[in-house]
Amino acid sequence: MKLRIISLCMLLIVAQANAGWFDDTDEQLHQVTQELQMQRQSTGGWQLVAGTLAVFCIALLVVGAAIGSKARREAKNGDK
């Protein structure tokens, strides 16, 4: 019985919700579409910058590891 009352109340509440704001004008839909495209372009730019920075950091890690390995080998062998 409780379940029926709860589902009836939810049905009445949901029926009053106005979720169709796109039906009023196409201008609002067009505006939302433009905002979404701008967000995608902005995200794409930041992804490019972050990817470039990541590649640069990995390259520095590899170079640093190579220099450290060479220095350790020279210190171990006594070569200078």
Return d(Cα 72, Cα 61) in angstroms, integer. Answer: 16
Give the per-residue pLDDT at 79.
60
The reported pLDDT for the residue numbered 69 is 94
Please tell me the predicted confidence (pLDDT) of residue 33: 87
- Measured at the CA of 61, the angle between CA 56 and CA 62, to 5 degrees, comes to 100
Tens of pLDDT along 9-62? 777 676 555 555 555 677 788 888 888 888 887 777 788 889 999 999 999 999
Pairwise pLDDT comparison (46 vs 67), residue with the higher score: 67
The pLDDT assigned to 16 comes to: 57
The domain spans of the chain are 56-80
